[in-house]
């Protein structure tokens, strides 16, 4: 239930606030929850919302890719700490 509410809050914040607040909360969620894949959806939403008309033809999913990398790195980091 905590994970669902936190994911719902993150998605709502990605629509209503600046990009940096959901990103910071995503990092906290990655440390708190196991396999927190909702960060990829939040990154995609932020990419779509902040897409510039000049960038439509280019591959510009910076937040989505950075969330995927953060998910991978923090998951590996957590496994090494808790072993």
Is the pLDDT at 7 greater than 80? The verdict is yes
Is the pLDDT at 6 greater than 90? The verdict is yes
Where are the alpha helices (H) located in 33-61, listed in sequence order? 38-49
Measuring CA to CA, which residue among 43, 40, 61 is closest to residue 52? Answer: 61
Q: What is the pLDDT of residues 14-56, one digit of tens each?
A: 999 998 999 999 999 999 998 899 999 999 999 888 877 666 5
Q: What is the pLDDT of residues 57-73, one digit of tens each?
A: 666 788 888 999 999 99
Give me the torsion for CA of 13, 17, 18, 20, rounded to 10°: -30
Angstrom distance (rounded) from CA 65 to CA 77: 18
Angstrom distance (rounded) from CA 4 to CA 2: 5
Q: Give Rg (Cα) of the chain.
A: 13
């Amino acid at each position: 239930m905590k994970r669902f509410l936190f994911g719902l809050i993150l998605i709502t914040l990605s629509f209503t606030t600046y990009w940096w607040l959901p990103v910071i909360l995503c990092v906290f969620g990655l440390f708190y929850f196991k396999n927190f894949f909702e960060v990829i959806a939040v990154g995609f939403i932020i990419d779509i919302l902040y897409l510039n008309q000049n960038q439509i033809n280019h591959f510009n999913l910076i937040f989505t890719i950075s969330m995927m990398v953060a998910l991978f790195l923090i998951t590996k980091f957590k496994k090494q700490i808790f072993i």
